[in-house]
Structure 1
């Protein structure tokens, strides 16, 4: 009987711990800047395979352009940035549920996303391209006719693919794309011939291929998708937080720090 009571007590304690930990971040429409400023800590959600914006190094450390930029922004306010890998297809849900405070990882601004989040000022331009092996002879989007395409689930590229089918979707095999959680697996499938082309952000493609020993084996093709801009995704209620980020961006531009971070990762200033 004593053993049963002890077991029951242990289970009860564990349940209480789970309930308390789950209540650490309550969903609220209140501006969170005061809490963040008091705690001196902010959580950034990211896809930790998006080279070179935010990704895991071989040592398991999260690094990248956006990682350095986020730290530089909040260093001005004495706030520590914690980076939380998330399921990229669920990023807006993670933000609204208070699991993270910001979406910051090559996050493209779009009209659809503006319905869900508040965006910071734009800080970099981007476009969607198709990467393929040169032997596949993909020189235009039209050359993907009947070919197998890969894309990242939840990405702006995949959204454009679905929303503007006349540009690419209507041409590829089965009028669909094989979806990947991250681009590392997608590139492996491209190399092995499981897919013929990969719809991807140009910044990722340029960085990834510049670090490949067989760069000459690949081609990058632009299409008719509109160019994009990267910005930080913020809860609509966090107006003060957005203002602080935009102010910090301006200071980093004036000081030259923004250009310095860009040159470290891209070899040139590609920021806006």
Structure 2
């Protein structure tokens, strides 16, 4: 009986060691030659992050990062395959070699930098306040006299709960969608909306009356910088992504993509 149990323990130990070895190898390899040979790169994403990468009603993936990734790898004659993943397991999927890149509004943080390598940042994001253009509101502080809308469970709601010294509204109203918050803003039932800058720019740029709104920023709100995440061993792939982004900036394609999705050129590349 003891020998049988010992055999099982030994087998499990060997299996675990083998899995860790495969994961470590995948994380340290430079896979560019393999990608170039197959002419395909696999990008992991969360397909619900509007406007970076999301699924339309017909099931087709679209978004700023979708267009940007395709434009970068088109320069190398490489097809991009997008794979929806459990975003909470994104680093594991990357290390296992299931995907080659994380490209979906992926913020650079000190904690993530311990686990993955990043491209140069290409886009900025932060919490902003959207109000009607004819409103007297011009700063975060003025919201203390007005009602503020936010999406339930959003980054904006989480940020607001811990930053009352920066922004404190007379009353907050939570919505299931940002669209509904804009309906109430237009009707005067709330006087401001707190949301991600990328989403605010996207939403306003695609509205029929986009000129009726203004976006207010605050220097006390920290910035998120979006970049492409990859395995630390993929130094050549990182170089190729950075070179591809730089070329898009130089030839004007990056500006056109920004204007298409956000209504303005808000690239962070090279800053």
Compute the TM-score of the two structures, normalised by the length of structure 1.
0.66
Instruction: Tell whether 2:265 aligns with 1:269.
Output: yes
Residue 104 to residue 236, structure 1, CA distance change in 2 (3 Å): same
Residue 245 of structure 1: aligned partner: 241
Distance in 1 (alpha carbons) for counterparts of 2:194 and 2:89 = 20
1:86-125 matches, within 5 Å, as 86-125=85-124
Distance in structure 1 (CA, Å) of the matches to 2:98 and 2:67: 21
Q: Matched residues in 1 for 2:61 and 2:77: separation?
A: 20
Counting only pairs closer than 5 Å after superposition, residues 220-235 of structure 1 correspond to structure 2 as: 221-223=216-218, 224-235=220-231
| Native 8 Å contact 1:186 1:198 kept in 2 | no
Contact 1:66/1:105 (8 A) holds in 2: yes
Q: Paired residue for 2:28?
A: 30
The answer for the alignment partner of 1:3 in structure 2 is: none
Equivalent pairs counted in the alignment come to 237
Q: Distance in 2 between matches of 1:148 and 1:263?
A: 26
For the pair 1:187 / 2:156, whether they are aligned, the reply is no
Please state if 1:205 is matched with 2:200.
Answer: yes
Distance of aligned partners of 1:201 and 1:149 in 2 relative to their CA distance in 1, 3 Å threshold: closer
CA deviation profile, 1:11-67 (whole Å, cap 9, x unmatched):
xxxxxxxxxxxx9xx532232222222222111122223232222233321112211
Distance (whole Å) between structure 1 residues aligned to residue 216 and residue 41 of structure 2: 38
Shift of 1:202: 0.5
Separation in 1, partners of 2:137, 2:263: 28
Deviation at 1:244, TM superposition (A): 0.9
Structure 2 CA distance for partners of 1:149 and 1:41, relative to 1, 3 Å: same
- 1:209-253 alpha-carbon deviations (Å, 9 max, x no partner): 443568799875534222232211112221111111011112222
Distance between the aligned counterparts of 1:242 and 1:261, measured in 2? 21
Q: CA deviation at 1:164?
A: 6.6
Structure 1: gaps spanning 5 or more residues = 1-22, 173-177
Spell out, residue by residue over 1:104-147, the C-alpha distance to the aligned partner (whole angstroms, 9 max, x if none).
Answer: 1222222232222211011122222256899xx99765647998
1:83 paired with 2:82, answer: yes
Kindly indicate whether the alpha-carbon contact (under 8 Å) linking 2:205 and 2:261 is maintained by their aligned counterparts in 1: no
Q: Deviations over 1:154-187 (max 9, x none)?
A: x6x688668878656xx69xxxxx9x9xxxx542
Is 1:259 the counterpart of 2:250? The answer is no
Match of 2:6 in 1: none
Contact preservation (8 Å) 1:131, 1:221: yes
Q: Does the CA contact (< 8 Å) of 1:127 and 1:225 recur in 2?
A: yes
Instruction: Classify 1:252/1:189 alpha carbon distance in 2 versus 1 (closer, same or farther; 3 Å).
Output: closer
